[in-house]
Structures are given as structure tokens and as C-alpha cells.
Homo-oligomer: A and B are copies of this chain.
């Protein structure tokens, strides 16, 4: 109980409530806004999350593989260490994942001439194409709907998203104590290696 009674007092968090268009701004007070923003954000994330999952299946790419390939695409030419840092994995893990990707000819490596310790990862044409063609099914519908909006609204959404992206970029996620797992499972529940 109680886990379901959560504050869906607004914006029906229950995905399939089929709002369609309703969208009450609810400009009550500022305190309430951020919660709704987070809810909306979660919905957006979830949609793309599921999309990624499906993509993985169809393309034969696993989550980390996809994540790493996207990182390479976004950052251009990056060293293995930088990738590991960006995706929060160890160098060794990234290396083995890149091995598989390189074996499938989706990425290739080039040893740097300036600093021969470094290795730069690139997407092959096939890899870039895979990544480029993949998001299409999601994009196409999205674009169609997006372009049917008034221009002022497009501009508004764009500004809003950039704003949010900037906010999230800025904060230092790394330094977070986060949770104490121990409190949850002091029982025989799980493992006690750490």
C-alpha cells in the first residue's frame, strides 16, 4: 500500500491516462512546479529508454555498447580513458567492449601520433550509419508532431530544453553519497562483500 497512492494529484503520472492534450498549466505556486517537471522529465526519459531498449534488440547492440558508441559520436575523437570517464566504466571494460565493436567493424582505433600512449576511437561508416538510422523511427513521428506546432511554441520548447540541459550539465553528479544500501538489507537478503 501507499506505494501506489503517491502524489499523482496532478498530471496523472500513470502514463496511460491518455491525456492527449489536456495540459493545464496549473500556475498555482512555484513550489509545485518542479515536481511536475520531474514527472514530465521522467516520462520523456522513459519513452526514450524504452526506445533504446528496442533499438538494442533490433540492432544487436547492448546498452553499454550503445552508450559508448553514442559517446564517441557526440565527442568526436576521444581516447579510451575519456570514454571510460564519461560513461563511468573502467578502462578495461571499455577496452573489451570496444574490442567487440571493432570486431564487428562498427568502430576503429587509431593510435595518436602526438602521444603514442593514447588511442583514439572513431565510428566507422557502418557504425555511424547504424546510429544515424536507428533513431529515425522515433524521430520521424516526433518531428512530424513537433513541426505541426506554432513557431513560437517550437522556440519555447527549444529554449526550455536547452535550459534544462544546461542545468543538468552543470551539476557535479559524481560527488554524491547517495544511498546506504546496508540499511535496506541487513537481513540475509543479499550479499555482504562490500
Contact = CB atoms under 8 A, between A and B. Distances in A.
Interface residues on A, range: 35 or more
A13 B53 CA distance: 23
Chief secondary structure at chain A's binding surface: helix
Given A146-B37, A157-B37, A179-B134, A166 B53 contact: no
Contacts of A105: 184-185, 187, 189
Contact of A1 (B17, B63, B125, B141): B125
Interface of A: 1-4, 11, 13-15, 17-23, 25, 27-28, 30, 33-34, 36-38, 40-51, 53-55, 57-60, 63, 67, 70, 73-77, 86-88, 103-106, 122-123, 125-126, 128-130, 132-135, 137-139, 141-143, 145-147, 149, 151-171, 173-174, 176-179, 181, 184-185, 187, 189-190
Given A17-B155, A58-B177, A145-B171, 8 more contacts: A2-B128, A27-B151, A40-B164, A51-B173, A55-B178, A57-B88, A104-B185, A156-B156
Given A34-B147, A163-B19, A3 B123 contact: yes
Contacts of A166: 19-23
Which of A1, A77, A174, A181: most chain B Cβ within 10 A? A1
17 contacts: A1-B129, A3-B123, A15-B151, A33-B158, A34-B142, A38-B142, A40-B161, A40-B162, A44-B45, A58-B178, A59-B179, A104-B190, A105-B184, A105-B187, A134-B179, A138-B171, A145-B170
